[in-house]
């Protein structure tokens, strides 16, 4: 007989011997909460977001949350968001005005838990309308490496939170996490 020296080992052997498949029902998730008010004069829709290895490609209207996205546990990572001011998430036309944000703190999640990432001026930096600014280097990283397809052919000015045509739309990168 083979000695089993641990409870997990005994459980694994028992499952194999009895023909049972062990299925771990604990999952790890991330959700995005758009904490901007729907009643604002210019509602701020989350157009795209990215955290850790999860790209949020379905817009999140003000005052609502995304569905849970499967992820893997991690200690802490920055989150990035592209807001579409005044854009209706149900529109069939893509937005033309954007504001890029970076989380003020990193978010982590343990195995089997869910991390909720609240998007607001309190938790994210970069909304010029609230007096919060990113450096141009931070904005360039977000627009060129995190969300390259959103900003294809556009130049983002971090000091004014405005986009303008860059003139190089033919050289848009297909790479990026989005």
Q: Which tens digits make up the pLDDT trace of 77-122?
A: 999 999 999 999 999 999 999 999 999 999 999 999 999 999 999 9
Does 134 fall in a domain? Answer: no
Confidence at residue 160, expressed as pLDDT on a 0 to 100 scale:
98
Does 79 fall in a domain? Answer: yes
Does 73 fall in a domain? Answer: yes
**What's the pLDDT band for 167 if we cut at 50, 70, 90?**
confident
What is the C-alpha separation between 73 and 90, in angstroms, rounded?
32
Q: Bridge partners of 81?
A: 49, 101
Does position 169 have pLDDT exceeding 60, yes or no?
no
Two tokens, residue 87? 């854009």
Does 152 fall in a domain? Answer: no
What is the C-alpha separation between 144 and 141, in angstroms, rounded?
5
Q: Whole-number mean pLDDT of the chain?
A: 86
Q: Where are the beta strands (DSSP E) in the chain?
A: 29-34, 44-51, 54-56, 69-70, 74-77, 79-85, 99-103, 107-109, 114-119, 124-125, 154-157, 162-165
DSSP 44: E
Residue 100: give the domain boundaries.
23-129
What is the C-alpha separation between 168 and 151, in angstroms, rounded?
11
Angstrom distances, CA of residue 174 to CA of 98, 143, 147, 148, 155:
20, 13, 10, 7, 17
Percent with pLDDT over 70 in the chain: 80
Q: How many residues does the chain have?
A: 178
Does position 21 have pLDDT exceeding 80, yes or no?
no
Does 147 fall in a domain? Answer: no
Question: For 133-146, what is the mean pLDDT?
Answer: 98
Does 177 fall in a domain? Answer: no
Contact 102, 142 (CB under 8 A): yes
Q: What is the pTM of this model?
A: 0.82
Q: How many domains does the chain have?
A: 1
């Amino acid at each position: 007989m083979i000695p089993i020296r641990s409870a997990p080992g005994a459980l694994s052997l028992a499952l194999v011997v009895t023909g049972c498949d062990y299925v771990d029902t604990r999952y790890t998730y991330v959700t995005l909460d758009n904490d901007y008010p729907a009643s604002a004069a210019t509602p701020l829709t989350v157009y795209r977001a990215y955290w850790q290895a999860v790209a949020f490609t379905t817009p999140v209207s003000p005052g609502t949350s995304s569905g849970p996205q499967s992820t893997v546990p991690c200690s802490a990572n920055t989150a990035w968001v592209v807001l579409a001011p005044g854009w209706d998430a149900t529109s069939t036309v893509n937005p033309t005005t954007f504001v890029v944000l970076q989380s003020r703190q990193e978010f982590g999640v343990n195995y089997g838990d869910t991390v909720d990432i609240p998007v607001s001026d309190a938790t994210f930096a970069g909304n010029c309308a609230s007096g919060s600014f990113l450096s141009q280097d931070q904005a360039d990283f977000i627009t060129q490496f995190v969300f390259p397809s959103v900003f294809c052919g556009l130049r983002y000015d971090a000091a004014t939170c405005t986009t303008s045509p860059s003139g190089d739309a033919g050289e848009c990168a297909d790479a990026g996490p989005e």
